[in-house]
Amino acid sequence: MSRIARSELERWEQHWPAAVTVGVVPYALLAILAGLTFPLRPESGVALSINVSPCVLAALWMLFMYTLHPSWRRREPRMVVFVAGLIAITTVLVVRDSWFGFFAAACFG
């Protein structure tokens, strides 16, 4: 393995845990908790869409404000809006279904 390839591999290995934690864990946690909503709240129609829509909103909020725009992470005013919005959405989720309190940990990340 060349020296350049080795240094890039080492750099990737150092940043990989943070990338997975920030890029995958919140979405996976939200998906798992949203999946719990179906068996724990056996509703259909409008009631189900009311329960699932904040989950979709949270996923789209994180996707647009954080994942798709990595340059925004260095802009403090945008990140304040992102975190405030994520906390507001998470609050709605927790008020609707208490098990979304586990998702609140994603707000602190």
- pLDDT of 88 > 90? The answer is yes
pLDDT at residue 91, as a whole number: 92
**Of 8-17, 48-57, 75-84, which has the strongest mean pLDDT?**
75-84
| The pair of three-digit structure tokens given for residue 79, joined into one six-digit string | 């990140």
The Cα–Cα gap between 15 and 12 comes to: 5
Band of pLDDT at residue 90, cut at 50, 70 and 90: very high
Task: Quick: pLDDT tens for 49-70.
Answer: 777 889 999 999 999 998 888 8
CA nearest to 31, candidates 59, 72, 67, 12: 59
What three-state secondary structure class fits 98?
helix
Q: Is there a contact between 3 and 10 (Cβ–Cβ < 8 Å)? A: no
Q: What is the pLDDT of residue 6?
A: 58
> CA-to-CA distance for 37 and 40, rounded, in angstroms?
5
Nearest alpha carbon to residue 97 among 67, 53, 64: 53
Whether the predicted model's global pTM rises above the 0.85 cut: no
**Which range in 34-38, 47-51, 96-100 is most confidently predicted, on average pLDDT?**
96-100
